[in-house]
Amino acid sequence: MNLITRFVSSFCILLLCVCSCTNTKNNQHPSDTLTPADSSKLSLKKDGPYIDFTQFDSVKLNINYAKSNNLFQRLDIIYPWNGKGPFKFLMTFHGGAWSEGSKQGRKVVPMQYAVTQGYALVNVDYRLTGDDQWPACIYDAKTAVRFIRANAVKYHLDATAIVVIGESAGGHIVEMLGATNGNPAYEYLSMGSPKASSEVQGVISWYGVSDITDFLSKKEAVNKLMGFNTQLPENKNKAEKASPLYLVTKNYPPIILVHGTADTIVPYNQSVDMMKKINEVCGEGRATLKTYQGAGHANKVIRSKENLLDNLYFVDKIMYKNGENPYRNNTKKVIRTL
């Protein structure tokens, strides 16, 4: 399917949504007018249903974060229902074997519950393997972080600390962001916001890939990402450079890994090994592992409001003095999808 066809398909999908939004009563949130998303990946039906943006008080959609203006290099900002800005926020990176998925699709729906707890969300798209190979996705992720940090005041955000969250392939990307804090080899500054930092202060990885050299269940996806056969001995060193497990330094920020023991796509031991490596290098407690016994890949118990809200206690400790988030509540809201 060529780019034009995918664009038309995605446009038709989101015409189903009412393309407008409202200000909050106290006018605390910046307002914007919704327009149909034109990210070409939305035509990937596997990533439906899609987030219903009309349920939020204020959003900003399809912001270009890179100079190239590539359709894949865009982000959305969802502002919280409670709290007063500038807003603390999380940045989300969707999964999909680096080859599919969307910042507006089902893979990031559970993360949207952060907006019930006073956090804004920055949902990020990045180039997929159908568009470019490694290191395109990490270049994009770092450019998005730099962009948000450079434009935090404009978008009414507090970028004092940035926490990133991703699942599966998105988990790989956020783990890589943590592993390459302060590493210029993984920056492509000419893409935009060169004076801003891409460092992150916290990572949440749901069943993320930490070692692509040992990812046999999806070896075709990994080989497509890297552009070579990652299982060949002569390519091991190159593959390790895209595996966060081999890149851990003392600069690694606090991380919580969430994984099910019955995961047959990304083996549970990937998160176990990642936790051990980070704690060996950075000291005990830098990494924690939340285990779901008997849960498989993308299991609903992990992709749940309850798990996300529990993970936010980890975020609260990074964002707030003494970890006391004044906006925490037992929300009854349900994130709607189309």
Which pLDDT band, with edges at 50, 70 and 90, does 30 fall under?
Answer: very low
Q: Say what the pLDDT of residue 46 is.
A: 64
Write the pLDDT tens digit of every residue in 226-278. Answer: 999 998 999 999 999 999 999 999 999 999 999 999 999 999 999 999 999 99
For residue 193, count other CB atoms closer than 10 A to its CB.
21
The torsion angle over the Cα atoms of residues 62, 154, 58 and 200, rounded to 10 degrees, is 70
Ranges of beta strands (E only) in 126-211 are 163-167, 202-206
Q: Which residues contact 190 (CB under 8 A, 6 or more apart)?
A: 67
* Orientation angle between helical segments 169-179 and 136-150, nearest 10 degrees: 70
What global pTM score does this model have? Answer: 0.89
121 φ/ψ sector (left φ>0, alpha ψ -120 to 50, else beta): beta
**52 closest CA partner among 72, 67, 37:** 37
Listed range (37-41, 42-46, 84-88, 97-101) with the worst mean pLDDT:
37-41
- Please state, in angstroms and rounded to a whole number, the distance separating the CA atoms of residues 267 and 202: 23
Question: Helices (H) and strands (E) in the chain — how many of each?
Answer: 7, 8
Cis upstream peptide for 86 (omega within 30°): yes
Write the pLDDT tens digit of every residue in 162-208. Answer: 999 999 999 999 999 999 999 999 999 999 999 999 999 999 999 99
Is the pLDDT at 127 greater than 90, yes or no?
yes
Mean pLDDT of 30-42: 39
Write the pLDDT tens digit of every residue in 144-153. Answer: 999 999 999 9
Which pLDDT band, with edges at 50, 70 and 90, does 33 fall under?
Answer: very low
Write the pLDDT tens digit of every residue in 44-96. Answer: 446 789 999 999 999 999 999 999 979 999 999 999 999 889 999 999 999 99
Write the pLDDT tens digit of every residue in 5-19. Answer: 344 334 433 443 333
Q: 305 in helix, strand or coil?
A: helix
Q: What does the DSSP assignment read for 207-273?
A: S--S-GGG-GGGHHHHHHHHTS-TTSGGGHHHHHTT-GGG---TTPPPEEEEEETT-SSS-HHHHHH
Mean pLDDT of 273-291: 98
Q: Which domains does the chain have, with CATH numbers?
A: 3-322 (3.40.50.1820)
Contact at 8 Å (CB) between 149 and 79? no
